[in-house]
Structure 1
Amino acid sequence: MKSNNQDSNILKISAYGALFFAVMGISWGIIANSQMIIFDGLYSFISFGLSLLSLFAYSFIQKEDQKRFQYGKDIIEPLVIIFKASAIIAMCLFAVSSSIIDLLKGGRDVALGSAAMYALIATVLCMFVYFMMKTKQGNSEFVRAEAAQWLMDTILSAAVLSGFVMALMLNQTTLSFLTPYVDPTMVLIVSLYFLKMPIRMLINNAKELLMMAPSTDIQNQVEQAVQRAKVKYNFYEDATRVTKVGKTIFIEINFVLSKETTIHNVDELDVLREELDTELHIEGYNKWFTLSFTNDRKWAF
């Protein structure tokens, strides 16, 4: 329960932090006439909405409702993260198109000193929030996704800061005519770079929705435990299925018995079930464990 409350509090901090950066970024961007800062503010505004969505979904998942959700509510987690990733991808693609249009129009004149000051403040504050979330996060995919968003915002702000400092230096040289192109160029580069992380989030959580196999580490742990039991009790064959949805790992093991199998009654089967349940404990995850036995392999496969 303590871990659940901590995750909920972290999500609230993330939401309030995103709202603060949204207001600051959009306002400062309009004053400084910087598309890059406005993009940063819009990203924070979208993050605020997505953080509220995560908080609502997280709270909903924590409320037990076994009558309606007999297999749990974990499927909601990848659904929400896919929506979040899709929203960030859409925003990045919009920013790419806007920056290209600005470049074709001859760039954008920006109040460089003001813009650089914003970027410095944003970089420091975003980094602080990210490390706070990183050190306190539990095993919630929601919190991990929020931390990933703040990491992206930190990288964005640092890139903006570097770009504006370079523009200030460039403005003092004979190449000052290139200064208007700095802001839209940064938007273009950062937007394209940002696409990588939400695309990865989208793919990983789509695999969970499709109930595909989990990470190799989880599969290996399950397979090793199954093979040890198979050898120890002389089972003829096994069929093992594993998938991960949110914080729950679903494990189904079917053993096909043979004449040499050393288990002969239900009590001994339950002893094995207890052994496997202990061996298959995976830190940080809930487990849905089903173990079946049959003499006919058609019921296993």
Structure 2
Amino acid sequence: MRVLHPSTFDSSTEQGVLRLSIAASFGVAAIAVAFGLYANSSLIIFDGIYGLIDVVMTWLSLLVVRLISLSTNVDALQSRLNQRFTMGFWHLEPIVLGVSGTLMIGAALYAAVNAVDALMSGGREIALGPAIVFAVISIIVESGLALFVRRANRSIGSEFIALDAKNWVVAASMSAAYLVAFGGGWLLRDTDWAWLVPYIDPAILLVVCLFVVVAPLGTVRQALSDILLITPVDLQAHVDEVARGIVAKYGFIEHRSYVAKVGRGDQIELFFVVPANDPPRQLVEWDQLRDEIGEALGEESTDRWLTIMFTTDREWTI
């Protein structure tokens, strides 16, 4: 029987949501660049550049998601890909998230410098009509996509999609700032405050850049923690609690645990020191004990790398 592949933009799958986000991001970015050049607005051009960076990083996120999915597929365990990357692809997830957040911060800092330069040089004259039209279109599209992506991620629970939803919220907030700024400039054109109009574009760009710099900091921090294999305190505590129970139940001497979180993957290594005079057990009994420990640690998942070893020599636990 032939199995049909899910739709390219299936909102119930991580890859489908990311594909939809890529297509929407590219369309919004292209419109932003066109309107920005036409209106001579560095603010709108930055919005387009921000969107293009998001397109590239979301595409990389989609690639990593697919690689992780392939590596955890039992039917593909003997594939050439899995033979070359026997430890899986979980390590790519925090790298992509970290690079994505860092690029966003870098682009914002560069735009902020340009905004300061424009403010010190007398501002920038822009075409307010096209700028206002763009702001309205952007708010509608980006707010709708932010809500859609967030709702889709309730059942998926993906870090990639969560970051993508955050990016759409940031984009919609930026567009709202554009609308306020350009609308205010439109009202001030024929007043005594008309001299402020050229400063509106770079001033709001500077404010937006400061906001964009702050938004990805949490994601970058978590990605760096995963890359450096910093042990999650709560996961370590849970693993040690389960291991201490096993030691007490079976009369083992002690245990050693090594825990790390890499992207969506939990990596756990447990070593139990068994007394040298412990009664011998058949291999099937040791396997049953491993199953007991695995169940106590929590529901088995393709995103968990669990190693359990038993030894009489403490040196093997170091």
Query: Which residue does the alignment assign to 2:268?
Result: 251
The answer to whether structure 1 residue 163 and structure 2 residue 181 are counterparts is yes
Distance 1:258 1:171 in 2: 86
Distance 2:224 2:164 in 1: 18
Query: Which residue does the alignment assign to 2:28?
Result: 21
Are the aligned partners of 2:139 and 2:176 in contact in 1 as well (CA < 8 Å)?
A: yes
Deviations 1:87-126 (A, max 9, x none): 2222112101110111011111223343233212211211
The answer to whether structure 1 residue 53 and structure 2 residue 60 are counterparts is yes
Selected match of 2:110 from 84, 87, 94: 94
Distance 2:269 2:176 in 1: 47
Equivalent position SS for 1:67: helix
Are the aligned partners of 2:33 and 2:49 in contact in 1 as well (CA < 8 Å)?
A: yes
Change (3 A) 1:280 1:180: same
Selected match of 2:291 from 250, 274, 298: 274
Query: Which residue does the alignment assign to 1:30?
Result: 37
Deviations 1:21-46 (A, max 9, x none): 11111111122222111111111122
Distance 1:182 1:283 in 2: 55
Q: TM-score, normalised by structure 2?
A: 0.84
How far is 1:288 from its partner?
A: 0.8
Deviations 1:184-215 (A, max 9, x none): 0111111122112333322321222222213x
How far is 1:157 from its partner?
A: 1.5
Change (3 A) 1:84 1:283: farther
Are the aligned partners of 2:276 and 2:312 in contact in 1 as well (CA < 8 Å)?
A: no
How far is 1:260 from its partner?
A: 10
Distance 2:12 2:132 in 1: 38
Distance 2:300 2:291 in 1: 17
Amino acid corresponding to residue 252 of structure 2 in structure 1: F
Distance 2:11 2:144 in 1: 22
Bigger shift: 65-74 or 158-167? 158-167
Are the aligned partners of 2:64 and 2:89 in contact in 1 as well (CA < 8 Å)?
A: no
Distance 1:154 1:232 in 2: 56
Query: Which residue does the alignment assign to 1:143?
Result: 161
The answer to whether structure 1 residue 237 and structure 2 residue 244 are counterparts is no
The answer to whether structure 1 residue 217 and structure 2 residue 231 are counterparts is no
Query: Which residue does the alignment assign to 1:6?
Result: 13
Equivalent position SS for 2:183: helix
Deviations 1:36-66 (A, max 9, x none): 1111111112222222222233333333432
Distance 2:132 2:189 in 1: 13
Query: Which residue does the alignment assign to 1:80?
Result: 96
The answer to whether structure 1 residue 68 and structure 2 residue 84 are counterparts is yes
| 1:114-129 correspondence to structure 2 within 5 Å | 114-129=130-145
Deviations 1:65-84 (A, max 9, x none): 32111111222222222222
Bigger shift: 5-14 or 252-261? 252-261
Are the aligned partners of 1:40 and 1:153 in contact in 2 as well (CA < 8 Å)?
A: yes
Query: Which residue does the alignment assign to 2:206?
Result: 188
Amino acid corresponding to residue 32 of structure 2 in structure 1: G
Are the aligned partners of 2:294 and 2:300 in contact in 1 as well (CA < 8 Å)?
A: no
Equivalent position SS for 2:86: coil
Change (3 A) 1:165 1:225: farther
Equivalent position SS for 1:195: helix
Are the aligned partners of 1:33 and 1:111 in contact in 2 as well (CA < 8 Å)?
A: yes
Are the aligned partners of 1:249 and 1:285 in contact in 2 as well (CA < 8 Å)?
A: no
Are the aligned partners of 2:111 and 2:205 in contact in 1 as well (CA < 8 Å)?
A: yes
Distance 1:104 1:167 in 2: 19
How far is 1:228 from its partner?
A: 2.6
Are the aligned partners of 1:238 and 1:254 in contact in 2 as well (CA < 8 Å)?
A: yes
Are the aligned partners of 2:231 and 2:259 in contact in 1 as well (CA < 8 Å)?
A: yes
How far is 1:264 from its partner?
A: 5.3
The answer to whether structure 1 residue 176 and structure 2 residue 194 are counterparts is yes
Structure 1 segments unaligned to the other structure (5+ residues) = none
CA RMSD of aligned residues (A): 2.7
- How high is the sequence identity, in percent, across the aligned residues? 30
